[in-house]
Chains A and B, each alone.
Chain A
Amino acid sequence: MSALVQVEDLTVWQGTQIALSHVSLTLEEGSSTALVGPNGAGKSTLVQAMLGLIPVESGSVRLFGCSLEQLGERRHAIGYVPQNLPFERTFPITVAEFVALGIPKRSWWKQDKSAVERALIRVNAMHLANKPLGNLSGGETKRVLLAYCLVHPRKLLILDEAPAGLDPQAEESFYQLLEELRMQERWTILQISHDLDMVSRSCDHVVCINQRVVCEGTPEEALSNESLLLAYGPNRTRYHHQH
């Protein structure tokens, strides 16, 4: 396996506060990595810095062996599922039109309908094709976001607390779908999560951060009591659930 993502010595300041301090991280091709840590630990900041959405103070990010400036067309191999999709709910766009936005370098007028249909079918959302995007429920929106990623071949999928706001059943169904697609598409996945049970079940690598990398390794190693104590402090409580 080769490294698809290499973050080295990354430091990010937000205003007068340090958000990330000398963070280094490597994602191997085909791996499924979870980024865990308490609120305000800098998980979303790390993802945003990796994607070039916010400026960094020092350090480097290399995706597919290139710096962010050199990525060019390789950017289209990245799928990004944000925590939520904040947009005006009356925005006049159908689900099919939205999914077609994920196809790069193609005129929107000549959108590849078959690719859109295939992507929607794979996430069980074909019945939503002509529905306005603003009328979807939380679970439907997440599935449509996955279809947006599926409509074009991607190598790296980054999810920022993707199941946030879903009920346990919808969350479980989302993770099942994600795992199926990961196997089929051979995606390398990086996801931010607070659900440590899910992380234990579906990820092969866990990075625990709290402004710096506190610990990393297999779920057994990184989610051990000692590691969690380091990351979350002594007042943490872990609830196990079976769904």
Chain B
Amino acid sequence: MDNLLDLLQQGFMQRAMIAGGLMGILGALLGSFVILRQLTFFSHTVGHAAIVGIAMGVLLGVNPDWLIAPCILLLGLGLQYFTEKSDLNSEIILSTMLSGSIAVGIILIGFISGYRGSLFNFLFGDILAVNEWDIYKCLVLLLICALFLLLTLKEQVLLTLNQQMATVQGIPVRFYRYIFTILLSLVVAVAIKAIGILLVNAFLVIPPASAKLLTRKFTSFLTLGTLLGCFSAIFGMLFSGLFNTSSGPTIVLVQVSIFLGALLLSKVWKFPLAEEKLFKGQRAKLDPKHSGPQ
């Protein structure tokens, strides 16, 4: 415990906790719409464009941090455009672009001479390495996202729920979708340094998914998801300090534990998902041929 108190007095730990908390809020805020719009694979895919940015940065002798965001943004906007224009299932496009961006990244890495070990830090991230500049970036992005989502909350909810009804109400659906894609890409880009390419999606998906299991009201869902995102990051950092484990993965483990707890609670309490499960269970009893979800 003394070690933890000593650790909490260290500047790098304080920065990491602030950054973790901010990213937790940011991830859950956007992630709430990511899970409702079924964009989880989208955010996973754009995250992998970071490999291209990192490799290009090293090859060009530029700080990779400066190239990660443009690469992710470009892929995000491209994916949005192709998904809109193509008749193909969006998962096919996402899967193709995911493979493509990984392939380009690995080919570029192949051109790098010398030690490449540091490149792999980006796969897993290092929240303890965040500096003040990273915290400012995170804070500004959080303010922009919060303002955008809260000022257009009604429109965002309606277009998430039913695009046709939103269009009839005069909501600029396409414009809002592009703005959301830009913000989501920037959030992924900012979070990658701290959490890494492989775990960044956890910040977006797990806290809102836990909140979704526990509430039936949208305002509570958004608030609870944001709180869970923030607290899981802070508690994850504390646990990582206490047990001397890797910070990013520990935060994700805390998020996963909360999710499993929420899943159990939703079965005990009569929350929406529990009711749905009960309904499916009853249907399976009535019709033995019906085994899987329809």
Q: How far is the CA of A88 from the CA of B162 in the complex (A)?
A: 10
Q: How far is the CA of A130 from the CA of B218 in the complex (A)?
A: 11
Check if B273 is an interface residue, CB within 8 A of chain A.
yes
CB-contacts of A58-117 with B (<8 A): 71-73, 75-76, 78, 80, 82, 85-94, 97-98, 100-101, 104, 106-109
Contact across chains for B218 and A92 when beta carbons are under 8 A apart? yes
In Å, the complex CA distance between A86 and B36 comes to: 13
Instruction: With A91-B36, A93-B217, A101-B157 as known contacts, state yes or no: A51 contacts B168, CB within 8 Å.
Output: yes
**Contact: A132 with B162, CB < 8 Å?**
no
Contact check, B161 vs A135: say whether CB atoms are below 8 A apart: no
> Is B276 within 8 A of A90, CB to CB?
yes
Q: Does A52 contact B (CB under 8 A)?
A: yes
- Are A134 and B272 neighbours in the complex by a CB distance under 8 Å? yes
Q: Which residue of B is nearest A94, CB measured?
A: B217
CB-CB nearest in chain B for A78: B168
Q: Are B167 and A132 in contact (CB-based, < 8 A)?
A: no
- CB of B217 within 8 A of CB of A97, answer yes
The answer to whether A87 and B170 have CB atoms under 8 Å apart is no
Please tell me which one of the listed residues A48, A86, A97 contacts residue B219 in the complex, with CB atoms under 8 A apart: A97
Q: B140-183 vs A: 1/0 string, CB under 8 Å?
A: 00000000001001100110111011011110000000000000
Interface of B is mostly: helix
Residue of A52, A86, A92 near B217 (CB, 8 A) is: A92
With an 8 Å Cβ cutoff, the count of chain B residues facing the other chain is 29
Q: Which of the listed residues B150, B161, B216, B219 has the most CB atoms from chain A within 10 Å of its own CB?
A: B216
Contact A80-B168, Cβ < 8 Å, known A101-B157, A135-B275: yes
Q: How far is the CA of A223 from the CA of B111 in the complex (A)?
A: 75
**Chain B contacts with A in 105-162, Cβ cutoff 8 A:** 150, 153-154, 157-158, 160-162
> CB of A183 within 8 A of chain B?
no
Cα–Cα distance between A104 and B217 once the two chains are bound (Å) = 20
B24-42 Cβ-contact flags toward A at 8 Å (1 or 0): 0000000000001010000
Report B-chain residues with C-beta under 8 Å of the C-beta of A135.
272, 275-276
Per-residue CB contact flags for chain A residues 115-135 toward chain B (1 = under 8 Å, else 0) read 000000000000000101011
Q: How far is the CA of A182 from the CA of B38 in the complex (A)?
A: 38
Inter-chain contact B157/A88, CB cutoff 8 Å: no
A53 interface hit (Cβ, 8 Å) = yes
Residue B15 interfacial (CB < 8 Å): no
Q: Chain B nearest CB: distance from A74 CB in Å?
A: 9
What chain A residues lie within 8 Å of B157 (beta carbons)? 93, 97, 101, 108
Nearest Cβ on chain B to A16's Cβ, whole angstroms:
13
Contact of B216 among A73, A80, A92, A107 (CB under 8 A): A92
Alpha-carbon distance between A92 and B273 when the two chains are bound, in angstroms = 10
B38's nearest neighbour on chain A, judged by CB, is A88
Contact of B221 among A72, A75, A87, A92 (CB under 8 A): A92
Q: How far is the CA of A103 from the CA of B164 in the complex (A)?
A: 16
A208 to chain B, nearest CB (A): 25
The 0/1 profile, CB within 8 Å of B marked 1, for residues 221-232 of chain A is 000000000000
Q: Are B168 and A101 in contact (CB under 8 A)?
A: no
Seen from chain B, the residues whose Cβ lies within 8 Å of a Cβ on chain A are 36, 38, 150, 153-154, 157-158, 160-162, 164-165, 167-170, 211-212, 215-221, 272-273, 275-276
